[in-house]
Homo-oligomer: A and B are copies of this chain.
Amino acid sequence: MAEETFASVVVGESAGVQPLVRGPRPGDRLEDVDTPALILDLDAFEDNLRSMQALAESHGVALRPHGKAHKCPEIALQQVSLGARGICCQKVSEAVPFVQAGLSDILISNEVVGRQKLELLARLASRARLTVCVDHPDALRALSAALDAEHSAVDILVEVDIGQKRCGVQTHAQAIALADLAVRLPNVHFKGVQAYHGGVQHKRSFEDRQRAAKKGIKAAAGFVDALRRAGYACEIVSGGGTGSALFDAASGVFTELQPGSYAFMDGDYGAMDWGEVTDLRHALFLWASVMSTPAPGRAVLDVGLKSTTAESGLPQVAGHPALRCTALNDEHCIVTVDEPRASPALGEKLRLIPGHCDPTFNLHDEVVAVRKGVVEAVWPIAARGLSR
């Protein structure tokens, strides 16, 4: 076997070059796609994209979906083509493949600290319109200086803490001081605030989530008012996620929404009470094979913590209520069979609903886009692993 051919086996698992064991291609039947694989049900996915776009438009707010959820430029391009203003990224290096793919308006929805990160940001800013969050005067000064070296500029949002207790300024005075500083520094333009509360997103009860979202909205409005009184109008108030989008869109405070998971609906979001107001559907699946049927009542799948994650709950077996994932090891998923007749056969393939979509995307090099059981496209998860 020639070395070139042999080497292509590895590349071919993920990158779609002609491999010895070839990867999935358009026209293949899903049934023939090797496992583990990350599968996107295009019908459900496209419905989800349209639903959230329609929600934003019905309230006159912009949609800026989060690229950190999928790290896939093809998905971002579809979001923008349906009307999204741009996208968010959480890391500077994560933004690079999106800029390369033509995304021209990106909010780095996070603080950027460190010499190499700022140098990359300054270079990216000459290629796309970038907005960056800040919560500390030293970081803002370093950002301005790094941009100077590249003769580029960015818009900035002051990140304000509305209850998550993660990043963000704590007081109105701190927010105003950062706006003051931004006005005095070159290359950075104050545009408003980012107000995000991750904890609100995952409250399961509709009422609890609504109550928490309203509390966050009130806190965000307080920062916006204080800045206005100090002479700083917030052109942009950005925040919200899939769980709070409905409330944030209708708040009159937020001008743009940052949801990510809505396009995929992982197990965690699927378990939430959505009231009567959403029709988001599971669109993302982990494709798995039964690799062992060692005892009655137990099957073992060929997926584990290297294909999905467990911090938001174990995966669910789609369409098989009698099959329950009961453990996720590094490379194995244990399935407990509650009815003997439901036992899957050795080699049978099953669709799992991941507990948490963001870190699951980050484990895969490509997502296989499927419609009615046939592969329609294979999209690189180009920002996979880009965490700086």
Contacts and interface: CB of A to CB of B under 8 A. Distances in A.
A255 interface: no
Interface in A136-176: 136, 138-139, 161, 165-170
Interface residues of A, number: 81
Contact of A309 (B1, B93, B170, B305): B305
A294 to B, nearest CB: 6
What number of copies of this chain does the assembly contain?
Answer: 2
B167 A294 contact: yes
Nearest to A9: B96
Interface string A340-382: 0000001100000000101100111100000000000000001
B6 A127 contact: yes
Interface in A120-136: 120, 123, 126-127, 135-136
Nearest to A292: B167
A96 B19 CA distance: 13
Given A1-B127, A289-B113, A7 B100 contact: yes
Interface stretch (A211-219, A263-271, A326-334): A326-334
Contacts of A356: 305
Nearest to A112: B291
A14 B114 CA distance: 18
A273 B382 CA distance: 42
A295 B165 contact: yes
A259 to B, nearest CB: 14
A195 to B, nearest CB: 14
Interface stretch (A78-86, A220-228, A296-304): A296-304
B330 A358 contact: yes
Contact of A167 (B126, B167, B332, B385): B332
Interface centre among A116, A310, A384 (most CB of B within 10 A): A116
A289 B359 contact: no
Given A96-B9, A123-B1, A114 B166 contact: no
6 contacts: A9-B123, A21-B119, A34-B114, A34-B116, A35-B114, A114-B291
